[in-house]
Amino acid sequence: MKSLIVTIRNKKQIAWVFLTVILASYSIPLVQELDDIEPYPDYYIMVLDYIRCNPIELVEPINLAQSPFIKYLLLCFSNNVLGNDRIIPFAFSIGLVYLVYLLGHYITNDRIIGLVSSASFSINPLLTMYDTSPAYNQFWAFFVVLSVVLLYKKSIIAPLVYPLAILSKILAVSYLPVFVYNVIFGKIQHKKLTFVITMALVAVGVISIVTQGFGPAISFNPERAVDGSLQLLIHLMVILPILGVFVLFMVMFKSKTKITGTKIVYAWMGWILLTTPLLYVFSQDYQFSYRYVPFAAFMSVFIGISIVNFGNKVKEMLPKKKVTGELKT
C-alpha cells in the first residue's frame, strides 16, 4: 500500500488511471438522465424561453447587462445545436469532477488528495442532485473552481477567467474576497501582477453593481440574519454530519506533518458559509441548496486533506524500526 501511494504521488500516469476510473464511475450512470424531463418549476418559468431562442439574440448589449447570458448561451447551444438541453450541463458537471482533482492536487501539491477530493465530490449530494439539470446547472461553479485551479498554473489568466463565473451567475461576485485572499496567501507565481489584475476586476465588479444594478438590490436587513443562518443549516443538512466526522478526525488526529494549502481550503469553506447570512442581511435574496456546489468542491478537498492527515498521524504513531548491527569501519 505504501509503495502504491508513493507511486501515485510521483507518477502522473498512475494517478490518471485512478482518475479515469473516478470519472467513468461518475459519468456513465448519468447518461440515462439525459432524456429525463426537468422536474423543477424554475425551468419552465425562467429558463425555457432562453433555451428556445436564437443564440445571437443572447449577446445583444441589453442581455449582456441584465442576464447571466453565458448560462443561457450555453443552454441555448445545447438545445438548438446539440439537440438536448442537458448535454452541456452534463459535460460541465463531469468537468467539475475533473477540476476538483486538479484543485486538491494543486493546492496541496499531493495527487492522493486530488484523487480523494474528486472521488468524494462525485458522490456529494450537492452535486448529484443537479448535475444534469438545465435549470440548476453548474456553469458558474465550474468557472469559479477553474479560476482557482489556474491560480496555481497560469496565475495571470485566472482573474480573467473569474468574470465568466459572474456572467454565469451574479452570486459569484460574493466570492471575490476569498479569491483575493487566495491570490495573496496562495503559493502562486506572478503574485503581484495577479493581485493587480484581480483588484482591477473587483473594482469593475463593484462599480458595475452600484451603477448598473446587477443582481439583487443592496439593502440592510439585520432582522434576516437569524433566518440566513438557519437556512444555511437547512440547505447543508445532508452533508453536515459527514463534514462533522472529518472535522473531528482533523481535531483528534492532528499530525505533525503539515499539509500545504490547508488554510486556503479553510478560508474558501468558511467564506462561502458566511456569504449566506451576509446575503440575507444585505439583500432580499434567498439561498438554495444548488448554490453550494463550490462549497462541496472545497469540502471535498478538505476530506482529502483530513484522510491524508490521518494517515500521517498513524505513520507517526507506529514504532520506528531500530537499526541493528555494528557499524563497520
Residue by residue, DSSP assigns 43-68 as: IIIIIHHHHTS-GGGGGSHHHHHHS-
**Higher per-residue pLDDT: 283 or 234:** 234
| DSSP 3-state of 172 | helix
Q: Evaluate if residue 321 carries a pLDDT over 80.
A: no
The amino acid that residue 73 corresponds to is: L
SS3 283: strand
* Average pLDDT estimate for 135-157: 95
d(Cα 321, Cα 298) in Å, to the nearest integer?
37
Evaluate whether 162 touches 147 at the Cβ level (below 8 Å): yes
Phi and psi at 218, nearest 5°, equal -80, 130
CA atoms of 51 and 134, how far apart (whole Å): 9
pTM (predicted TM-score) = 0.90
Contact 116, 104 (CB under 8 A): yes
pLDDT tens-digit map of 192-236: 999 999 999 888 777 766 665 555 667 777 888 888 889 888 989
Grid coordinates in use for 31?
A: 447518461
pLDDT at 63 over 80: no
Cell readout for 258 is 503539515
Cell of 214: 446587477
Segments making up each domain of the chain, as ranges: 2-316
Query: What are the grid coordinates assigned to 263, written together?
Result: 488554510
- For residue 225, the model assigns a pLDDT of 85
Q: How far apart are CA 99 and CA 282, in angstroms?
A: 32
Q: Determine the Cα–Cα distance for residues 262 and 220; give it in Å rounded to an integer.
A: 34
Question: Coil, strand, or helix at residue 218?
Answer: strand
Specify whether the CB–CB gap between 126 and 292 falls below 8 A.
Answer: yes
Per the DSSP assignment, residues forming a β-bridge with 218 are 283
* Continuous segment of H or E residues that includes residue 274: helix 262-282
